[in-house]
């Protein structure tokens, strides 16, 4: 069996020739030979890298995030992933990985960051029995990474990994181990379905329409909901990203924190995001809650790509001129934030929000049906039954079937695109209410 990968001479190699010349196919024995030798280096970025990918037949260029020329190393040129690669950088991570993946064929090597003070710096490589299509990869990667407590956000298709190297002056020897077993299959990867947050609670995945149903039954843009969280001051941003701060404090994953914050800000504010405040917030919170400054790592380099990807994801595509201008702005903001942090100064933030809701008050009927209205706006019919089974709550007083129907039809009349509730879902709701004795005919 042969496994495809792309080897590049440096972290910054991204030309058409680099990718075409670097594409190789190796047997299991060839992989062992390639990864068994650790190269002594003075600095990490002097090493070669590999991408565990199969390329598309015709490679196409894409503008670099910096706006300076084009790159061929991007997700659009990846057709499939050929190996699962996991970074194990925390004490106990290797033990957890061996427990979860112990039956599978894999290679383990120590990375350049391994020192006597921080010996737990490893990379695990598991070849796949068949390539996994690019469109499926991030979900599958997140499942297994969450299972062993690794960073679930590192499954981007064009991510590169340094080949084995160690510090020239290090007194601790590099590690390389080979584990025999069955070859990891895409079906086995699919078995890791339960994605968890660092706190261990299941993560709710939902489709977001960009609008929210206020309990007054008024559909409004999400950015206007909870006006006390809509400001650009530090306190407002802490309130709207409280769960992400908590997750970073528990896991130390600054990259996942930056990815979540930038995506949420673009989703809520579109092109009106105050990027100075966002960059200040990322640097500030990472320094305080992760124990390591944001500028020590690759996250700043990847931030412009995160932002432009967020705009594509949430339907606010940028023109080439807007993308170039924003990238330049972000680079300048990150330079300023780095200098501010190193000097021990306060990060600059924007103005606070008004602190009071600008939306109408709740009504008795809306309190009863707010959960259903929000579901119809955000999720549609596809997830209604699941929502009903997990979160449907009846009130103590009986609900008239006529009130029920009126509330549902009120939802359908306000949501673009027609009815979002199927007849099967309707019958389920009604029958569930009757069984509980809390829904009676009008």
Task: Specify the DSSP element, H or E, that contains 433.
Answer: helix 423-435
pLDDT value at position 423? 47
Tell me, what's the pLDDT at 315? 58
Q: Distance between CA atoms of 367 and 180, rounded to whole angstroms?
A: 58
Cβ neighbours of residue 201 closer than 8 Å, sequence gap 6 or more:
none
- Give the residue from 97, 30, 29 showing the smallest Cα distance to 7: 30
Quote the distance between the C-alpha of residue 253 and its chain's center. Answer: 11
Specify the pLDDT at position 153: 67
Q: What integer pLDDT is reported at residue 289 of this predicted model?
A: 86
- The pLDDT value given to residue 105: 96
pLDDT score of 193: 55
Q: From the first residue on, what is the mean pLDDT of each consecutive set of 10 residues in the chain (442 residues)?
A: 93 89 93 95 91 92 73 90 92 89 95 90 95 88 82 80 92 94 92 51 38 42 50 84 83 84 81 89 89 80 83 72 88 89 86 45 38 44 36 37 45 38 48 45 38
Residue 208 confidence (pLDDT): 39
**Per-residue confidence (pLDDT) for residue 298, from 0 to 100:** 76
| Predicted local confidence at residue 131, as pLDDT | 95
What pLDDT shows up at residue 316?
Answer: 64
d(Cα 439, Cα 310) in Å, to the nearest integer? 44
Pairing mode of beta strands 218-221, 211-214: antiparallel
69 Ramachandran zone, left/alpha/beta (phi>0; psi -120 to 50):
left
């Amino acid at each position: 069996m042969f496994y495809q990968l792309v080897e590049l001479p440096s972290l910054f190699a991204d030309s058409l020739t680099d990718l075409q010349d670097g594409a190789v196919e190796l047997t299991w024995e060839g992989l062992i030979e390639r990864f068994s030798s650790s190269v002594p280096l003075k600095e990490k970025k002097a090493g070669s890298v590999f991408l565990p990918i199969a390329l598309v037949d015709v490679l196409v260029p894409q503008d670099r995030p910096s706006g300076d020329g084009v790159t061929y190393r991007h997700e659009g040129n990846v057709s499939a992933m050929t190996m699962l690669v996991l970074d194990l950088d925390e004490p106990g991570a290797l033990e957890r990985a061996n427990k979860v993946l112990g039956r599978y064929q894999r290679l383990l090597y120590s990375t350049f960051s391994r020192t006597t003070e921080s010996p737990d710096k490893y990379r695990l490589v598991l070849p796949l029995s068949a390539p996994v299509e690019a469109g499926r990869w991030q979900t599958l990667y997140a499942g297994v990474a969450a299972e062993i407590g690794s960073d679930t956000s590192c499954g981007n298709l064009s991510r590169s990994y340094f080949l084995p190297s160690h510090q020239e002056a290090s007194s601790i020897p590099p590690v390389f181990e080979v584990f025999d077993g069955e070859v990891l299959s895409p079906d086995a990867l699919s078995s890791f379905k339960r994605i968890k947050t660092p706190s261990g609670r299941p993560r709710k995945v939902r489709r977001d329409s960009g609008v929210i149903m206020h309990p007054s039954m008024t559909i409004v843009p999400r950015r206007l909901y909870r006006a006390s969280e809509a400001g650009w001051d530090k306190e407002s941003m802490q309130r709207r990203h409280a769960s992400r701060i908590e997750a970073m404090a528990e896991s130390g994953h600054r990259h996942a924190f930056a990815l979540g914050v930038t995506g949420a800000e673009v989703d809520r504010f579109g092109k009106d995001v105050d990027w100075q405040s966002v960059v200040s917030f990322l640097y500030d919170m990472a320094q305080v809650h992760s124990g390591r400054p944001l500028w020590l790592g690759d996250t700043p380099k990847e931030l412009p790509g995160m932002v432009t990807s967020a705009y594509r994801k949430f339907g606010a595509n940028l023109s080439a001129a807007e993308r170039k201008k924003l990238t330049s702005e972000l680079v300048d903001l990150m330079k300023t934030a780095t200098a501010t942090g190193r000097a021990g100064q306060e990060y600059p933030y924007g103005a606070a929000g008004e602190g009071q809701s600008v939306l109408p008050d709740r009504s008795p009927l809306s309190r009863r049906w707010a959960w259903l209205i929000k579901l119809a706006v955000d999720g549609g019919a596809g997830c209604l039954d699941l929502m009903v089974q997990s979160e449907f709550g009846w009130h103590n007083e009986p609900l008239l079937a006529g009130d029920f129907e009126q509330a549902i039809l009120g939802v359908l009349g306000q949501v673009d695109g027609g009815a979002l509730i199927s007849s099967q879902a309707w019958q389920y709701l009604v029958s569930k209410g009757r069984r509980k004795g809390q829904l009676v005919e009008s």
